[in-house]
Amino acid sequence: MTPLLQVKGIEKRYGARIGCSDVSFDLFPGEVMGIVGESGSGKSTLLNCMAGHLEPDAGQVIFGTRADGPVDTVTMSEPERRMLSRTDWAFVHQHARDGLRMSVSAGGNIGERLMAVGDRHYGAIRDRAIDWLGRVEIEESRVDDRPSAFSGGMQQRLQIARNLVTGPRLVFMDEPTGGLDVSVQARLLDLLRGLVREMGLSAIIVTHDLAVVRLLADRLMVMKSGHVVEAGLTDQVLDDPQHAYTQLLVSSVLQV
């Protein structure tokens, strides 16, 4: 099996400070990888470098495209990268309002991505938007409402629908459950897990919630001060952490 994504020696500096340094890994189709670490450890910098939102100072992000096989997305042209981010990639922001158009209806938010890849039939777009609202458990009657009238949990689900409607193969998620109350989190986790299974998605999830990665991620990478200090199978890293920082992180979790 060939990897869907190969990350090689990614480094990003902000002046003299290190954002992230020397990060390498392979992600295979259907795999879900979690990235954990405290605030400022470089998780989001890394995610943004991989998703093409930030330009890394060094390294390669090689994605197995449908048409041309493995391509380095760091050096590809901006239009090519933008097309990739509308078709094969998806990015779920921590704050739903960063990933949604707040002044456009829920249906329009989902339809926009379809139109960006060439769909033009209004009826068909609307039907798919309604289908996706159902999949993320939003009532059909809300299709013409703006996301500003939605609760935080609904906005987050709408953002997920908008991202997944074009059938991406790789989803980047930045704290997808952050800022949501626990019952809404549970619902979102269950939903994400189901979608990952049904669609055979690969995903990279940045979070600082260890319970979230235990439920969602197959593999785990632990970051501290811009470096990966430990990586492996999720339950092995959490049950038998090897690095001092991971041990501290795991032992700091409050038991409920």
Partner 1 sequence: MIELINVSKSFTLHNQGSAVIPVMQGASLKAAAGECVALTGASGAGKSTLMRVIYGNYLAASGQVFVGDLDVAKAEPREILALRRETLGYVSQFLRVVPRVPTLEVVAEPLLAVGCDKQAALDKATGLLGRLNIPERLWSLSPTTFSGGEQQRVNIARGFAHDYPAMLLDEPTASLDAQNRETVLSLIEEAKARGAAIVGIFHDIEARSRVCDREINVSEFTPGMAA
Which residues are at the interface with partner 1 (CB under 8 A)? 28, 31, 186-187, 189-190, 193, 197, 214-215, 218-219, 232-233, 235-236, 239-240, 242-244, 247-248, 251
**Min. distance of Cβ 141 from partner 1 in angstroms?**
23
**Min. distance of Cβ 207 from partner 1 in angstroms?**
15
Is 21 or 234 the residue whose CB approaches partner 1 more closely? 234
DSSP string, the chain: ---SEEEEEEEEEETTEEEEEEEEEEE-TT-EEEEE--TTSSHHHHHHHHTTSS--SEEEEEEEETTTEEEETTTS-HHHHHHHHHHTEEEE-SSHHHHS-TTS-HHHHHHHHHHHTT---HHHHHHHHHHHHHHTT--GGGTTS-GGGS-HHHHHHHHHHHHHTT--SEEEEESTTTTS-HHHHHHHHHHHHHHHHHHT-EEEEE-S-HHHHHHH-SEEEEEETTEEEEEEEHHHHHHS--SHHHHHHHHTSPP-
Is 13 or 214 the residue whose CB approaches partner 1 more closely? 214
Is 97 or 193 the residue whose CB approaches partner 1 more closely? 193
**Min. distance of Cβ 173 from partner 1 in angstroms?**
16
**Min. distance of Cβ 65 from partner 1 in angstroms?**
21
Is 130 or 228 the residue whose CB approaches partner 1 more closely? 228
**Min. distance of Cβ 129 from partner 1 in angstroms?**
25
Is 143 or 211 the residue whose CB approaches partner 1 more closely? 211
